[in-house]
């Protein structure tokens, strides 16, 4: 009896990127900097916000190689930050097996 091979397409697990960046962070930064440009109605504010948006866009393109980094960072600064994250696969490990040296 041979095993049946089932193909699993990458599109099922691929993250949704917008312009090559994390969608939510890019749109939130664009909206915030758009407000920064439109409220004062000055060309200098528009130039500053455009420059900041291009810097943020470039940095988000660099981070896009790991699109889940935003979620990891939010968990890191979240409601229960820890001083030490032990290297174990589950939080339900047996405490007496963790040998301290």
Assess if residue 87 is contained within a domain: no
Instruction: Say what the pLDDT of residue 36 is.
Output: 93
**pLDDT tens digits, the chain, 101 residues: what are they?**
788 888 888 877 788 888 988 888 999 999 999 999 999 999 999 999 999 999 999 999 988 888 888 887 887 787 666 677 667 666 666 665 555 55
Assigned domain for 98 exists:
no
Residues 6+ apart with CB under 8 A from 21: 57, 60, 61, 63, 64
Residue ranges of alpha helices (H) inside 1-101 are: 23-38, 43-63, 69-76
Q: How many domains does the chain have?
A: 1
Q: What pTM was estimated for this model as a whole?
A: 0.64
Q: What six digits make up the tokens of 64?
A: 């896009």
- What DSSP state is assigned to residue 81? -
Instruction: Report if residue 30 sits inside a domain.
Output: yes
Both tokens of 92, joined, read 């339900």
64-80: b (≥16 Cβ within 10 Å) or e: beebeeeeeeeeeeeee
Neighbours of 49 (CB within 10 A): 20
Question: Residue 44's domain spans which residues?
Answer: 19-75
């Amino acid at each position: 009896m041979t095993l049946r091979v089932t193909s699993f397409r990458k599109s099922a697990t691929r993250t949704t990127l917008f312009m090559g960046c994390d969608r939510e962070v890019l749109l939130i930064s664009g909206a915030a900097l758009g407000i920064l440009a439109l409220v004062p109605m000055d060309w200098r504010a528009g130039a500053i916000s455009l420059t900041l948006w291009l810097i943020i866009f470039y940095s988000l393109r660099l981070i896009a190689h790991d699109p889940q980094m935003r979620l990891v960072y939010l968990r890191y600064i979240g409601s229960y930050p820890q001083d030490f994250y032990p290297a174990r696969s589950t939080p339900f490990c047996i405490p007496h097996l963790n040998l301290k040296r």
